[in-house]
Amino acid sequence: MTLVAVDFGIDQALKKLGVKEINNGTSTGSDYFSSGEIMASYSPVDGALIGKVKSTSQNDYEKAIKTASEAFQVWRKKPAPLRGEIVRQFGNKLRELKEPLGKLVSYEMGKSYQEGLGEVQEMIDICDFAVGLSRQLYGLSMHSERPGHRMYEQYHPLGIVGIISAFNFPVAVWAWNSALAWICGDVSVWKPSEKTPLCGIACQNIAAEVFKANGLPEGISCLINGDYKVGEMMTNDNRIPLISATGSIRMGKIVAQAVAARLGKSLLELGGNNAIIVTPDADIKMTVIGAVFGAVGTAGQRCTSTRRLIIHESIYDQVKDSIVAAYKQLRIGNPLDENNHVGPLIDKDAVAMYQKALQQVLAEGGNLILEGGVLEGEGFESGCYVYPAIAEADNSYEIVQHETFAPILYLLKYSGDVHNAIKIQNGVVQGLSSAIMTNNLREAENFLSAAGSDCGIANVNIGTSGAEIGGAFGGEKETGGGRESGSDAWKVYMRRQTNTINYTTKLPLAQGIKFDL
């Protein structure tokens, strides 16, 4: 791996994470091997080359799957509380390395350092959640209709869980899946985004150290790096019963079809087109804070980013002016400088999509209140920094119906009561996150009712982003229907089994059927 010295202690962070010594991108633990093509990771912060890794070849992939399969035979037999103890140790190791891992996330992906630290904290939180869950993998007891019979259900490990994650959360989403999969007795094979391969290697190093220290098989956590071709190896592999994939709707449809063709299971977390409804009874100050962070946090590259602000006509101008004033206070620049609010987009392709979206909103009749644009000059040499933009638009515009992974906020006006706003909010194909700003109890309850928001996440008086790990995370419609993280999301990583035990000397049949010999 070729590394460059950069400011803000990145080189030192890479050393602490053990990334500096690694030159391959496939791992079954502490053993790294790869024979595929070279992949380079460039930072969107300054355009510098951070490192190069080799992608996973077909032979590398087979070795990883074989090692994972062998590890599963051992891991699934360990009591769940013991598996929880291993996850607890992993969480503690993350606590020790929170600062360097947060810096790497910030530098390789481009989100602010505070958001990088927050992402590692999510990993720690899900480990804590999983540890408690390891003693709560409950089944149910049911009463049998047959005398002398006992009926219950239990959950067993699935096997290999394939994880395909996106660049915008290069470490947390893997941890959401892996922590739960591990306590359920599964093993994981992870393909991180090809745009953030070093974050994947850093996480694999941390996990491998914990498993090795406990004398456990290295294949409990496996890493494979590469582009969509490596992802196709996973989605078409019937040795992987569950594929958890995070990404675009287009990608999700491809994954879903491939996995369904072999009757596998998919957990899909796809696009979002999230809206905040602002009613006449909203607290404007709270609204501004929630909307601005939701729209510009991670430079608009969250699946839960606020894309649409649906404002009642009676307060439209007041809210618009307040949002514009707040945007003018934003500081854009190196995300490792904690004085800045907004960092870069992930790469120049993302910048091109941002520019195209701004052109399209104008072509469809929209009005750019804050025009946006690409930043140039000292500190912006990577070409990935853009101004957050605000546009007045209509929900029917094609560009508004589309998720653009960039800091573009659409202001939409509604009249009448909250039901009209909810209709606009639901009038997109995505169904991930939603919010309403109101101090009116009836409006809030209507928003949360069965006739209200059709999203997997519906918030009152907070924004659309920043979900806690305790609740199940995911969305409906073309967001994919998957659920990760909290609540009973663990069940997707296990297979359900119904058991009936006859402790009599007779064999009665259900439904009173007679079959005498």
Residues annotated as catalytic (active site), given as ranges: 269, 303
Residues 233-251, buried b or exposed e (16+ Cβ, 10 A)? bbbebeebbbbbbbbebeb
Cα 243 to Cα 51, 55, 181, 193, 397, distances in angstroms: 28, 20, 12, 15, 34
Count Cβ atoms below 10 Å from residue 182 Cβ, excluding itself: 29
Cα gap 284→312, rounded to integer Å: 12
User: Which residues fall within 8 angstroms of residue 203, CB to CB, at 6 or more apart?
Assistant: 101, 171, 174, 175, 223
For residue 472, the surrounding DSSP H or E stretch is strand 472-473
> If we measure between CA atoms, which residue out of 261, 333, 272, 267 comes closest to residue 304?
272
Q: What is the DSSP letter of 392?
A: E
CB 244 within 8 A of CB 180: no
**Which of 242, 105, 219 has its CA nearest to residue 171?**
105
> Are the CB atoms for 432 and 465 separated by under 8 Å?
no
Do residues 25 and 55 lie in contact, with contact meaning Cβ atoms separated by under 8 Å? yes
| Cα distance between residue 150 and residue 499, in whole Å | 8
Helix spans in 193-276 (H)? 197-213, 228-235, 249-261
- Residue type at 56 in one-letter notation: T
Q: Nearest Cα to 474, choosing from 505, 426, 431? A: 431
User: Which letter, b or e, does each residue of 417-453 get, where b requires 16 or more Cβ atoms within 10 Å of its Cβ?
Assistant: ebeebbebbbbbebbbbbbbbbeeeebbebbeeeebb
Q: Which helix (H) or strand (E) element contains residue 311?
A: strand 306-312
The sign of the dihedral angle between the CA atoms of 362, 434, 123, 63 is negative
